[in-house]
Structure 1
Amino acid sequence: MNDKIFELATFGGGCFWCTEAIFRELKGVEKVVSGYSGGSVPGKPTYREVCSGLTGHAEVVQVAFDGSIISYEELLIIFMTTHDPTTLNRQGADTGTQYRSVIYYHNNNQKEVAEAVVKDIAEYFDNPIVTEITALNIFYDAEDYHQDYYRNNTQQGYCNAVISPKLAKFRKLYAEKLKE
């Protein structure tokens, strides 16, 4: 039985299918769950409700990771460099508040690290970073068919056109951080 306690990180970088596919490949990442957070309506939202843009939720992933293998700071840098943190409520063709760039911190240390990383990398972008940094309130798991979406649907059009090229770039940039 594995009694290891994993740390949690929660990020929204547009479509959760893309973000989940990236984090699943990293050494030290035990589990990635697609879901929703940041909304203002009561109860667990559905994908259809979140996509309406009316619930205030963002598509996010919650990452369980071993901090002795990969740090929260490293996860943040990877997150910030594998999506566009300078576009408000948009990633590629996906538009709406549900696709916003957001870091949900779980404690004050994560908040401080997130603020420092965003400040440090800002100079590498042509436009200002608009990524929200806010406390995690509630995380809701997305429906089962959204979990491990890319691996289960690699031939789907969106996966081929959007996720596969993003993963190829990520794998090249972070080859030393990938699982065997």
Structure 2
Amino acid sequence: MFKSKASRAALGLLFAAVSAHAQHCHLALRGYIKDAFSHEALAYASVFVKEAGRGAMTDESGYYAIADLCENTSYTIEVSHVTCDHLTKIVRLTENSNIDFTLDHNTELNEVIISEKAIAPSPTQTQNTVSYQELEAGKGVNLGETLKRLPGVTTLNTGASISKPVIQGLHSNRIA
């Protein structure tokens, strides 16, 4: 496959250089997060390593641990908690590190802006209409008889040509 000893040696040196240059990602970052005012542990605070794309949440005692970080690499650590101000710190790891963070307590949340309109609720009842063509087709019939064709509409006849529409049991001035 390889034609000369020189090409084999060059390939061997290339592999040696690549493996020597490869980073060792076996370091761990651990620590404790507390409130600056009360000095109490902050449970469920978020610790995120931006460059690694992963993070951890503190336990009930305020401790966190993030493993498999590379040595001699600068990392941006973002620490946040719902009742505190966010904190960002840049660290360079050369060995397993224990870094504690103290967050300033903040009881005010930022403003919330709602910019979307509410979804219009669907009507609770179906709506039926009589089109212009249907009114034209029933020219010889009074309006009550034309409306009688719609579902839920009946008529109350009080004479030969007098009929009042009854819509789902309501008539006269009770129809809005």
TM-score (norm 1): 0.23
Relative to its length, the structure with more strand (as a share) is 2
Which structure has more relative contact order (CA 8 Å, sep 6+)? It is 1
Relative to its length, the structure with more helix (as a share) is 1
Q: If you compute each CA radius of gyration, which structure gives the higher value, 1 or 2?
A: 2
